[in-house]
C-alpha cells in the first residue's frame, strides 16, 4: 500500500469520484438542453405569461454549463478536496501519518495530485458532454477555443485545490476548511470590482470557457492564468510548510 | 536513548509541563504514570515530534524514522482493511520492513481473522490492537505508547503486556498508563507526573522499597486480643489493624525492628501463629502517596 494507492482508494471506496463526476456530467448534459429548450419550458410552465427568447446560439449551451459548474460543481470539488487534504481533521489519523513519513510533502502531494486529477477529469467529462449536446442540439462550437477554455478552467480548479490545501493547514475540521475556502473564492470576484484588477485575478478564469467560445481574445486570460499558476504554486508550497510546522 | 532538559510546555496560561528532566535508558521499558491532566500525553507528543516545547530540549539517540507512536485511541480511515493499514504503516516509513512482516504482526495482534474486514466496524479494543500492529511493523527502536491496553479485554491486555515485555532489550518503550499493575509488571523504570512536574523518576524496585512502610499480615488462632494489645504497646510498632477475629496487620517503624522483635512479641503472648507474611507494597499504594 502506497500513499498514491491510498488516495485512489479514498476516491473509489468513499464514492467521491461518483459525486464529482455526477455533478459535472449532470450540468454538462443539462446546460445545452436548457439553453435549447428554455423558450418551450417557460411557455409550458409560465402560466400564460408570454416571454420571447432569441434563438439559442451554440455559446449559450456552454454558458449554461459554465454557470452551473462554477457554482455547484466547484462546491462539490471543494468538499472532496477538503476531505482529502484536511490531514489533521482527525488528530489520531494525523498522528499516524505525521510520525511515519520523513516529510509531510510525501503525504500532501499524492492527496493534492489525485484529488486534482479527479476534479479536472470530472470537469473534462462535463465539458465534453456540454460540447456534444450543444453540437447535437444547437450548433457547432469551435473545438480549439473550447479546449483552451477547458485548460484555463482546469488551471482555476487546480488553484482551488491549492487554496483548499492552504486553508486545511490552518483549520481543524473538514467543514471549517470548506467554509473558509468558499469565503476566499467568493471574495476574489469582490476584489475584482476594483477597476483593472479583475483580469489579473484567478476568478477571471471561471468564465474563460464561456468567453473563448463567444470569441473573446485568448490574450484576455493570459495575465489571470499566470497569476493563478503562480498563486497556486505559492499556496501549495505554503500549505506543505505550514502543515509541517503545525502542532498536533 | 532519551534525555530531556528543563522541558516546559505552556498552553496560554496553563503550564502543562514544568521543567521535566527525563532520562530513558536504551532498551528499557519506561512507564509514565500520573493522574488525568498530569501531562503524560503532552510529554509523549513532544517526544514524538508532534508538539514543540515552550522551553527546554530533547536529545534522542535515535532518528525520527525509528520512532513509532501509538495514540490512546487509534483511528484510521474506516474504508481501509486492517491488512491495508498495517501495510501502509510498513510502506510509508523511511525504512520499510519486508512485506511478510504484515502477516506476522497481524497474527501477534490477534487480527488475522479480521485482516480483510473494513475497520469501520472494529471495536475500540480491535482498533487498539490494530494500532499496536501498525506501530511495531517496522520494528522501531523507540515506541511511544499512550495507554496501549486501556481499551482491551483481559486477554488482549495480557497479550499487550507480553508483547511489551518481549520488546525489552530490542527496543526502548515509553508507555503511559492508568493501570498501575501493568506498569509494575512490565516497566523497569517509572516517571510519575503530577501537575506537569516529574515527582519521581527511578526504578520500580527502588520506588517500592524506599517509599513503603514495612507491613506484615499475621494470621493467628483466636483469641488474638492479648497479642494485639501487646503489639500496640511495643515501641517499634507504628500501627496495628485487627482485620478480623484471626488476622492482624502490623505496620513497623523499620524492617529491622520488625524482624528482630515481632517474633518475640508473638512468643511472649503465646500466640498460635498460622501464617506471617510481609505485605508487599503495590505501585498503586506508592503512587497514590506521591500524587495525592
What chain B residue is nearest to A98 in terms of C-alpha separation?
Answer: B50
Inter-chain residue contact B75 with A13, CB threshold 8 Å: no
- Calculate the CA dihedral of residues B131, B134, B135, B137 and round it to 10 degrees: 150
The predicted model gives A12-24 an average pLDDT of 93
Gap from A90 CA to chain B (nearest CA, Å): 8
Q: Does the pLDDT value for residue B208 go beyond 90?
A: no
**Contact status of B63 with chain A (Cβ, < 8 Å):** no
3-state secondary structure of B245: coil
In sequence order, the β-bridge partners of residue B8 are B55
What was the pLDDT predicted at B65? 81
Which ranges in B172-239 belong to alpha helices (H)?
A: 180-186, 204-210, 225-233
Strand B142-146 to B14-20 pairing = unpaired
CA distance B83 to B158: 23
Average pLDDT over residues B40-44: 92
Grid coordinates in use for B235?
515501641
- B122 reaches A (C-beta below 8 A): no
Percent of chain A with pLDDT over 70: 98
The answer to whether B53 faces chain A, any CB pair under 8 Å, is no
Residue in B51, B92, B115 to test binding to A, most A beta-carbons within 10 Å: B92
B123 burial type by CB count under 10 A (0-12 exposed, 13-18 middle, 19+ buried): exposed
CA distance B155 to chain A (A): 25
At A78, list the grid cell: 471543494
Q: Would you tell me how many other CB atoms lie within 10 Å of the CB of residue A247? A: 11
Which band of pLDDT confidence, cut at 50, 70 and 90, is reported for residue B205? Answer: confident
Chain B nearest C-alpha distance from A91 (Å):
9
Q: Answer yes or no: do A9 and B80 touch at CB < 8 A.
A: yes
pLDDT in the model for residue A151? 95
CB contact under 8 A, A92 and B87: no
Cβ atoms B2, B57 nearer than 8 A: no
Quote the pLDDT of residue A76: 95
Q: What was the ipTM of the complex prediction?
A: 0.85
Residue B146: closest C-alpha in chain A: A92
Query: Does the distance separating the beta carbons of A101 and B89 come in below 8 Å?
Result: no
Q: Determine the Cα–Cα distance for residues A160 and A163; give it in Å rounded to an integer.
A: 5
Tell me what the pLDDT averaged over chain A comes to.
Answer: 90
**Do residues B22 and B43 make contact, with C-beta atoms less than 8 angstroms apart?**
yes
Assess contact for A130 and A32: CB atoms under 8 A.
Answer: yes
Distant-in-sequence, close-in-space partners of B136: CB < 8 Å, separation ≥ 6: B68, B105, B108, B143, B163, B167
**Which residues touch B266 (CB under 8 Å, ≥6 apart)?**
B218, B220, B227, B273, B276
| pLDDT tens-digit readout, B255-280 | 888 888 999 999 999 999 999 988 77
- State the alpha helices, DSSP H only, in chain A: 3-13, 16-45, 58-68, 74-85, 91-98, 105-137, 143-168, 174-191, 208-213, 222-245
* Predicted confidence (pLDDT) per residue in B52-65, tens digit: 999 999 999 888 88
Rounded to whole angstroms, the Cα distance separating B213 from A155 reads 75
Nine-digit cell string for A154: 482546469
- Whether A92 and B72 have beta carbons less than 8 Å apart is answered as no
CB contact under 8 A, A247 and B48: no
Residue A49: the pLDDT is 67
Q: Please state, rounded to an integer, the average pLDDT across all residues of chain B.
A: 88
Whole-number pLDDT of residue B149: 81
Cα torsion through A169, A170, A174, A180, rounded to 10 = -120
Structural domains in chain A (count): 1
Task: Quote the pLDDT of residue A213.
Answer: 86
Q: Band the pLDDT of A160: cuts 50, 70, 90.
A: very high
Mean pLDDT of A188-204: 86
pTM across the whole model: 0.82
Question: Given an 8 Å threshold on Cβ–Cβ distance, is A247 in contact with B67?
Answer: no
Question: What are A20-71's pLDDT values in tens digits?
Answer: 999 999 999 888 888 778 777 777 776 666 667 777 888 888 888 898 888 8
User: Which tens digits make up the pLDDT trace of B100-128?
Assistant: 999 999 998 889 999 999 999 888 888 88
Position B212 confidence tier, pLDDT thresholds 50, 70, 90: low
Which chain A residue has its CA at the smallest distance from B71's CA?
Answer: A92
CB contact under 8 A, A95 and B48: yes
Q: Which domain holds residue A57?
A: 3-245
Decide if B93 and A106 are in contact by the 8 Å CB cutoff. no
Tell me which residues of chain A have a C-beta less than 8 Å from any C-beta of chain B. Answer: 1-3, 6, 9-10, 13-14, 90-93, 95-102, 106, 247-248
pLDDT of B243 over the 70 cut = yes
What local confidence, expressed as pLDDT, does residue A46 receive? 65
Question: Is B87–A1 a contact, with Cβ atoms under 8 angstroms apart?
Answer: yes
Q: Which residues of A195-222 are buried (b: 16+ CB within 10 A; e: fewer)?
A: eeeeeebbbbbbbbbbbbbbeeeeeebe
Q: Which three cell numbers stand for residue A212?
A: 473563448
The winner for highest mean pLDDT among A58-67, A90-99, A224-233, B198-207 is: A224-233
- Indicate the pLDDT class of residue B158, thresholds 50, 70 and 90: confident
Closest CA to B176 of B186, B166, B167: B186
Name residues whose C-beta falls within 8 Å of residue B102's C-beta, 6 or more positions apart in sequence: B83, B86, B87, B90, B137
Which residue matches cell numbers 517499634? B236
Residue B237 CB-half CA count within 13 A: 20
CB contact under 8 A, A102 and B94: yes
Q: How far apart are CA A208 and CA A210, in angstroms?
A: 5
What grid cell was written down for B1?
536513548
Per residue in B8-41, pLDDT (tens digit) is 999 998 999 999 999 999 989 999 988 888 899 9
Cβ contact A239:A166 at 8 Å:
yes
CA dihedral B239→B242→B247→B252, nearest 10 degrees, is 0
Confidence at B211, pLDDT banded by 50, 70, 90: low
**Angle, CA B287 vertex, CA B284 and CA B292 arms, to 5°:** 120
Amino acid at each position: 500500500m502506497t500513499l498514491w494507492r491510498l488516495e485512489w482508494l479514498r476516491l473509489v471506496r468513499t464514492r467521491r469520484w461518483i459525486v464529482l463526476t455526477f455533478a459535472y456530467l449532470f450540468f454538462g448534459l443539462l446546460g445545452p438542453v436548457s439553453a435549447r429548450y428554455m423558450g418551450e419550458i417557460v411557455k409550458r410552465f409560465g402560466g400564460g405569461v408570454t416571454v420571447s427568447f432569441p434563438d439559442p446560439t451554440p455559446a449559450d449551451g456552454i454558458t449554461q454549463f459554465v454557470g452551473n459548474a462554477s457554482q455547484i460543481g466547484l462546491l462539490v470539488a471543494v468538499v472532496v478536496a477538503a476531505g482529502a487534504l484536511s490531514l489533521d481533521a482527525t488528530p489520531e489519523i494525523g498522528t499516524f501519518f505525521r510520525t511515519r513519513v520523513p516529510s509531510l510533502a510525501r503525504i500532501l502531494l499524492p492527496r493534492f495530485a489525485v484529488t486534482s486529477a479527479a476534479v479536472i477529469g470530472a470537469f473534462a467529462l462535463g465539458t465534453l458532454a456540454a460540447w456534444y449536446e450543444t453540437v447535437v442540439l444547437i450548433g457547432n462550437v469551435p473545438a480549439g477555443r473550447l479546449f483552451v477554455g477547458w485548460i484555463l478552467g482546469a488551471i482555476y480548479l487546480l488553484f482551488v485545490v491549492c487554496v483548499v490545501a492552504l486553508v486545511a493547514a490552518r483549520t481543524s475540521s473538514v467543514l471549517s476548511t470548506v467554509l473558509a475556502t468558499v469565503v476566499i473564492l467568493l471574495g476574489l470576484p469582490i476584489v475584482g470590482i476594483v477597476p483593472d484588477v479583475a483580469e489579473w485575478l484567478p476568478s477571471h478564469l471561471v468564465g474563460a470557457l464561456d468567453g473563448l467560445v463567444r470569441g473573446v481574445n485568448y490574450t484576455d486570460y493570459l495575465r489571470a492564468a499566470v497569476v493563478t499558476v503562480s498563486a497556486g504554486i505559492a499556496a501549495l508550497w505554503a500549505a506543505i510548510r505550514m502543515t509541517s510546522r503545525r502542532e498536533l | 536513548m532519551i534525555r530531556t532538559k528543563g522541558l516546559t510546555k505552556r498552553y496560554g496560561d496553563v503550564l502543562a509541563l514544568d521543567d521535566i528532566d527525563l532520562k530513558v535508558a536504551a532498551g528499557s521499558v519506561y512507564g509514565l504514570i500520573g493522574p488525568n491532566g498530569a501531562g503524560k500525553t503532552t510529554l509523549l507528543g513532544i517526544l514524538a515530534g508532534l508538539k514543540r516545547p515552550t522551553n527546554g530540549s530533547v536529545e534522542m539517540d535515535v532518528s525520527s524514522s525509528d520512532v513509532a507512536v501509538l495514540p490512546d485511541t487509534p483511528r484510521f480511515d474506516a474504508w481501509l482493511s486492517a491488512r491495508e493499514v498495517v501495510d501502509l504503516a510498513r510502506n510509508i516509513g523511511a525504512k520499510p520492513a519486508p512485506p511478510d512482516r504484515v502477516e506476522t504482526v497481524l497474527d501477534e495482534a490477534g487480527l488475522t481473522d479480521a485482516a480483510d474486514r473494513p475497520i469501520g466496524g472494529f471495536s475500540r479494543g480491535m482498533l487498539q490492537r490494530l494500532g499496536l500492529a501498525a506501530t511495531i511493523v517496522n520494528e522501531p527502536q523507540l515506541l511511544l505508547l499512550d495507554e496501549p491496553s486501556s481499551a482491551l479485554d483481559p486477554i488482549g491486555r495480557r497479550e499487550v503486556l507480553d508483547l511489551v515485555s518481549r520488546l525489552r532489550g530490542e527496543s526502548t518503550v515509553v508507555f503511559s498508563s492508568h493501570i498501575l499493575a501493568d506498569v509494575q509488571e512490565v516497566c523497569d523504570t517509572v516517571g510519575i507526573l503530577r501537575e506537569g512536574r516529574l515527582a519521581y523518576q527511578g526504578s520500580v524496585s527502588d520506588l517500592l522499597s524506599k517509599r513503603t512502610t514495612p507491613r506484615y499480615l499475621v494470621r493467628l488462632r483466636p483469641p488474638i486480643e492479648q497479642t494485639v494489645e501487646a503489639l500496640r504497646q511495643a515501641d517499634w510498632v507504628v500501627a496495628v489493624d485487627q482485620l478480623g477475629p484471626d488476622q492482624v496487620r502490623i505496620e513497623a517503624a523499620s524492617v529491622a525492628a520488625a524482624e528482630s522483635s515481632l517474633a518475640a512479641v508473638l512468643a511472649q503472648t503465646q500466640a498460635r501463629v498460622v501464617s506471617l507474611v510481609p505485605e508487599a507494597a503495590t505501585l498503586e499504594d506508592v503512587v497514590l502517596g506521591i500524587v495525592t
